[in-house]
Structures are given as C-alpha cells and as structure tokens.
Amino acid sequence: MTEAQRVLVTVTGPDTPGITSALTGVLAENHAELHDIEQVVVQGQLTLCLLIGLDPARAKGEPALKDLLFLAKRMGLEMQFKVLDAGERSTKTPPPRVQRYAVTAIGDGLTAAGVHRIADVLAKSEANIENIRRLSSGRLLSLEIILSLPGRDEVAHELRRELLIATANLDIDIAVQREKLTRRSKRLVVMDMDSTLIQIEVIDELARMHGVVDRVSEITRRAMAGELDFEQSLRARVALLEGMPWDQVLSLARNLPVTDGAREMLRVLRVLGYKTGVISGGFTFAANALRDELGLDYAYANNLEMRDGVLTGRVLDPVVTPQRKADLLDAIAQREGIALEQTIAIGDGANDLTMDRILYLLGLHERDVDEILG
C-alpha cells in the first residue's frame, strides 16, 4: 500500500470566525488525512499549521491543494505548502532522549532586549522551543516557554543558572520546571508569613512596641553574619520581649498588613480547590489571625510563652526551624494525600515575588484569574 504524501500547510492572515471549519471541510471533502494541527493568534493575526496526508494516486493530491488555495484567496489569507520527504524521514537517526520543561519569565524587563537574552541562552543550550504564550493581559509582563532539552536533569540545572545570570540586572523573575502532568495539577500551596504573606517582620514590630528594637536589630545582624543560627537568634530576640503585655501583642494581630494581591491569590486558589497554609518561623498569634482572616487551611508557627497576662521571654518547643518547615510541609502533604511534587512552597527570598506572579508560575492566564474574581 502506497504511503500517503505528507504536506505541511501554513495559513496566515487576519483572524475571522470559520477559517478552521472551512479549511478542514476541504480536507474532508477530498478524503485527506489530518495528522497534526496547531493555531495561534497574535493581535488579531492568525497562524494555522496543518500536517495533512494526501493520496499520491490522485495526481499528488492536487485537487485538495487547489481547493485549499482557492479558499484561502477567497478568505483573504496567505497559504504555503511544504511537501515532506517520507523516504528521508524513515532513514533519519532516532532523536536523542529529551526532557520537556516550562520556563516562566515574569517582570517589566520583558522588553525585546530581555526576551533576546532569554532566547539566546536557550539557543546556546540547544533547547528546542515548542510553544510560547503570554500569561498576562495588556502589557507583556509574562511568558511561558515550553521547550525540549537533550540530556539529563544536570543540563536543566545549568540552563536555570545561565538564565538567572543573563537576567540578573533586569526586572525578570525566572522559573524552570519540568513540564509534566504534576506541574499543572498542583494541590497545595504553603508560604512563609513575615515579609511574604504580610509586609512586616512581626518580631521587629513587637520590639518597636516594647522599646527594644535596636537590641533586636543587633541580634538580627549577628544572625545574618552567621554568628548565630536561626533558633539561637530567635530565642535571644524573644528574650528581650519579656514583660510585654499580651493584650498589646494581640493588638498587632488585629492590624497585620497583608501583602498586596494575597487575598485575591488565595481566593483564586480556593476556587480551584487548592489547600493553602502558612508555615512560619514567626508566631502563632499572627499566623492564626491570618488563617482566620484569609481562609487558610493550615497555620504553623512558634508559640510565645505567656504567664499572668505578659510574655515570659521564652519560646515553647518545638521551634519552627527551616528543617521543621520542610517536615511540616511533608506532614500536611501526607495528611491530604498529596505528592510533594504537587506542592508549592513560597519562602524567604520571595519578598519581591508578587502574588499575581505566583499565579503565573501555576500556568494561570490573567484572564482566567479575572474570570474567577468576577
């Protein structure tokens, strides 16, 4: 049996309703096979590609091609054909093993120069771009690039490093994720609290209210210099809060400045069925207040000891250290029956990653978010 002749048809022009219907109607009437189809519309301009199979016994499929050309001209479209050589395809060396990745780029730096830097890194890494789409409406503030990359995960790690270097002086956040089913089926989002979910460091505000902010800041400086680990610095700072009235502590919980966009982000996540939580090295009085206010499913933080209506200056065990944060995330995932690769943790260092950008990392388009928010 003679193999069907494979032809790649590319159609471009103004996008109007009915184009795909009309073209596939011609194919159906001529008994052509449809092997692949992809379409994209940018600013009202259509690009439609169809990979078709034509019966070589029917004058190399000329009736179908002539009908397509006539239809395209009548609809004001440009059309090009490329005949694929079946014999050449069959003798090609099998392609090397590749992995698929999603590169998400977000920020004001996505100018022509910014996109060029990203594309240049991808080209030098021999990445094959399969699809590019904008996730933001209006201005170009986000891109999702689906690509295939030869080699193992080490190649992806190097790609991530090179992308970060290339965009270091631009306002662009870059994420590289494996393009698998689990990337689009996240089920649990947990985040840090201080300077992430809220715009302040709670312990600094408590220290300011208690008149010891300079001494607390000095301990923080020593911790940042590596002189103290997290638990040592936490206990030392809390000790300076001894004698602070509990009512004064609670007054801060009633006025926590939630990060812009956090309420909207959490509303979207709830509608989509995500479990959400805060896991913080801060304090439970604030974390619990946020849980109640924002509808979080989980809240874990450190417990301040209180006696006779005042703070004792001690933190109750166990302290939420970085390792305990990881353990708590794992425990929540197990309780909910969620695989760890279906979780997202937003921690320290995410202070400049705005909440709408987190939704982009989930692959959500801005118009989808707007629809949910009404």
Instruction: Give me the DSSP letters along 180-220.
Output: SGGGG---EEEE-IIIIIBSS-HHHHHHHHHT-HHHHHHHH
Domain residue spans of the chain: 5-90, 98-179, 188-202+254-373
Within 13 Å of residue 355, how many CA atoms lie on the same side as its CB? 22
Superfamily of domain 98-179: ACT domain (3.30.70.260)
Name the architecture of domain 5-90: 2-Layer Sandwich (3.30)
In contact, 87 and 52? CB cutoff 8 Å: no
Cis peptide bond N-terminal to 94, omega within 30: no
User: Would you tell me how many other CB atoms lie within 10 Å of the CB of residue 202?
Assistant: 23
Integer distance in angstroms from the first to the last C-alpha of the chain?
Answer: 57
**Packing angle between helix 202-210 and helix 213-224, nearest 10 degrees?**
150
Domains 5-90 and 98-179 share a fold: yes
Which residue from 16, 38, 25, 17 is spatially nearest to 64, judged by alpha carbons? Answer: 25
pTM exceeds 0.75: no
Structure tokens that stand for 168 in this block: 């270091």
pLDDT in tens, the chain (374 residues): 456 788 999 999 999 999 999 999 999 998 888 999 998 888 889 999 999 988 766 544 478 889 999 999 999 999 999 988 765 454 455 556 788 899 999 888 999 999 999 999 999 988 888 889 888 887 888 899 999 988 666 788 889 899 999 998 998 888 888 888 777 788 999 999 998 899 999 999 999 999 999 999 999 899 888 898 889 999 999 999 999 999 999 999 999 999 888 898 899 999 989 999 999 999 999 999 999 999 999 999 999 999 999 999 999 999 999 889 999 999 999 999 998 888 888 875 444 445 566 677 677 777 777 777 77
Give, as one character, the DSSP assignment of residue 16. -
Residues classed as catalytic: 192, 194
Among 287, 279, 276, CA closest to 203: 287
For 36-41, which contacts have Cβ atoms below 8 Å and span 24 or more sequence positions? 41/15
To the question of domain 188-202+254-373 being in CATH 3.40.50.1000, the answer is yes
